[in-house]
Structure 1
């Protein structure tokens, strides 16, 4: 028994420390496949390879990184350490990765970073930190990353109210930043004041009750894509809300609680091409909401509570794709699409299913989309599902009281 016990202990230790198996492709890309046990990344597994440009250690059950693990890699530009079990990075473990431009640390268990961790990584272009447990970013931690253009902080535990307004002061070249699935409520108004070339800002699921000031500052004229979906925004009453976002092309306000919106709120966004307002609580559309917005191509208003659709709201716009499905209107203006075409708006795809249609009104719009060769969701009108309500008098009634009646009948029997 005395001789047997040390052998068992040694084999156990070897199993815990079993290295991932690494393969080299094209003499430059190192990809490692994990063993069955957790592993501390050590010097020697991927280090000291002059020609290596990419190292992929994804899903390798790595729990920690030793010093000099990336030593002797003068050509290295890409490191993927995603989907591991790393909960801390000690100061100095990334010092040898001076030429790296892409660092993926996503989906680990990181909570924060020691100040100075990125001091030698001045060439970083892409830093992916999504899916960790990061709850705090110390002022100065990002200062060395003056070349950084892409920063993903999504799916962490950050709180905007704890962020310094000067956190990104040296990161003036960031073009893409993702805060989604963090609590950005209470963030400093000037949080992004240093950005000069930002193109995309993602604030999906950030606990916002209104459009945050830090997302619409005057230095953000370069933004093309703004995501504000899945928050608690209930109204946008200030017509100047987006006045600084001259170059915005895609605005996502879906899955909020929007009940009202100012009729001129989009007018200042001259380059807007797509607006997503689906899954809100809109009951009425302002009469001129999208009128004469020549570059606006795609409008999604599905899954709201809209009871009346003013044709004027779309006149003279560039709308080609219009989605009004799953609302509460039972009729549209007579010759709705023709009225729009006469104003210069040529709809090519139109979704209007799952509304409490009057059967006579539905027939009119179906005839119109067919005669004008407009694509629509014909599968929803296959004759098998209930799609409209008929009264004894088969005529399209276009009065508010009639709309209320057809809503009640449709939803009580649907």
Structure 2
């Protein structure tokens, strides 16, 4: 009995000892050329001096997913050549002032997917060469005025998926950030953001405002100093109309405009006219019932238009004249017919489609047949798998296509009840 008790006690002691060893286990680090890559799947870890410090020739350190909870001062001591530091996917909730000092050559700093709520003023003071700063997926709420001021070379800043409220930010937070080309605010609440918050930007190329609780196109994203911008994402917001023809008046160099998944019902006929270099305009998953007769007319660089998943019943050929349209998506709308000789009329105006998508509409069968004949004649790519004869794709077998708006409601109702 006593022997069994001793054996049980010894077993428990070993378990406790093994647990203690596991708790204290350091990440495993390997050298890969001039890089250090560390892994840790055992336990939470406090980063200390000695694990990756004191390496004069190391240019890159990866501590991704190492279960780091805290970084002690001098953890990155004597790393004069360090250019790349990845601290992503850890549990860091705070960066102490001075913890990032001592390695001034760093170009890329990734602290994404941690638990940071703020930065102390001065934390980036020793990062004069930093160009890429990734802070997405943290819990940042307030950006301290001056925190980005030392980063005169910063060109890529990702603040997506935080808890930032634009209306609460100091309008001068980016006052020294003149060289930013890539800016990502997505999945934050940027409604009410001060109009001049991005006033210092001089070379912006990409601005992401996806899922930012915007009820209108924000003025801070369409200022005159942002005329270098080429890609603007306004998707998955609450924008209901584009009724101001001057809203994009300063964005003459914009190439891609994404307005997917809003609530847009009203579009002014001239709203896109200032976008002289636009190549792609995405308007899918909105609430549009019709589009103006000349909406995209004479936009000579425009090659891709997505109007899918709206409530459109008619799309005028005139809307695309003077473009270089190659891809047009009309799927998942309320079309029962297209204009007679739709593709021929486009070709006569100089538009030669390479792709036309039109599935999941309440087509009259005769009207759909007209489209398919043209599609095959001009060798235009379409969703052929939707028209393989295995599923219904139109609502009536009448001989002639009835191209009168008065019939639309009847065929749409029939489609809803049958397909």
Q: Please classify the TM superposition score into its range, dividing by the shorter chain length.
A: over 0.9
Residue 350 of structure 1: SS of its match in structure 2? strand
Query: Residues 102-158 of structure 1, C-alpha deviation per residue, up to 9 Å, x if partnerless?
Result: 000000000001111111111110000000011111111111111100000000000
Residue-by-residue CA offset, 1:364-408 (whole Å, 9 max, x unaligned): 0000000011111111111111110115x4210011111111101
Residue 312 (1) aligns with residue 318 (2): yes
Structural mapping, 1:121-200, within 5 Å: 121-200=127-206
2:337 aligned counterpart, secondary structure: coil
Report Cα offsets for 1:175-206 as digits up to 9, x if no partner.
00000000000100111000000000000000
SS at match of 2:136: coil
Superposition pairs of residues 73-88 of structure 1, within 5 angstroms = 73-88=79-94
Aligned residue in 1 for 2:412: 407
Q: What corresponds to 1:361 in structure 2?
A: 367
Deviations 1:24-58 (A, max 9, x none): 012x0100010401001110100111111100000
Q: Partner residue of 1:212?
A: 218
1:146-172 CA-to-partner distances (Å, cap 9, x unmatched) read 110000000000000111110000110
SS at match of 2:46: strand
In the alignment, which of 9, 19, 23 is matched to residue 16 of structure 1?
Answer: 23
Equivalent position SS for 1:24: strand
Task: Supply the distance in 1 between the matched residues of 2:11 and 2:297 (Cα, whole angstroms).
Answer: 85
Secondary structure at the counterpart of residue 328 of structure 2? strand
- Cα pair 2:284 2:306 within 8 Å, conserved: yes
Deviations 1:51-84 (A, max 9, x none): 1110000000000001111111111100000000
TM (norm. structure 2) is 0.96
Conserved? CA contact 1:158–1:182, under 8 Å = yes
Structure 1 distance, partners of 2:72, 2:13, is 27
* d(CA) in 2 for partners of 1:307, 1:371: 25
Q: Within 1, Cα distance between the matches of 2:355 and 2:16?
A: 69
Aligned counterpart for 2:35 among listed residues 17, 29, 37: 29
Gaps of 5+ in 1: none
Match of 2:287 in 1: 281
Which residue is equivalent to 2:70?
64
Q: 3-state DSSP class of the match of 1:283?
A: coil
> C-alpha root-mean-square deviation of aligned residues, in Å?
1.7
1:313 and 1:71, CA in 2 relative to 1: closer, same or farther beyond 3 A?
A: same
Could you report, residue by residue, the CA deviation over 1:306-327 in whole angstroms, capped at 9, with x for unpaired residues?
Answer: 0111111111211000000110
Classify the secondary structure of the residue corresponding to 1:389.
Answer: coil
In the alignment, structure 1 residue 40 sits paired with structure 2 residue 46: yes
Larger displacement relative to structure 2 (380-389 or 14-23):
14-23
Whether the 8 Å contact between 2:281 and 2:304 is mirrored in structure 1 is: yes
- Aligned positions, number: 412
The equivalent residue for 2:5 is none
Whether 1:265 and 2:277 are equivalent positions in the alignment is no
Q: Relative to structure 2, which stretch is displaced further, 34-43 or 361-370?
A: 34-43
SS in 1 for 2:373: helix
- Does the 8 A contact of 2:236 with 2:262 survive in 1? yes
Offset at residue 274 of structure 1 (A): 0.3
Counterpart pick for 2:240 among 209, 231, 234 = 234
What is the CA–CA distance in structure 1 between the aligned matches of 2:134 and 2:93, rounded to whole Å? Answer: 15
What CA distance in whole angstroms lies between the structure 2 residues aligned with 1:7 and 1:290?
75
Q: CA deviation at 1:6?
A: 9.9
Partner residue in 1 for 2:261? 255
Native 8 Å contact 2:364 2:411 kept in 1: yes
Provide the C-alpha distance between the structure 2 equivalents of 1:224 and 1:289, rounded to a whole number of angstroms.
Answer: 20
Preserved CA contact (<8 Å) 2:93 2:114? yes
Structure 2 alignment gaps of length 5 or more: 1-8
Could you say if the C-alpha distance between residues 4 and 360 of structure 1 is closer, same or farther in structure 2, counting changes exceeding 3 Å? closer
In 2, are the aligned partners of 1:316 and 1:340 still within 8 Å (CA)? no
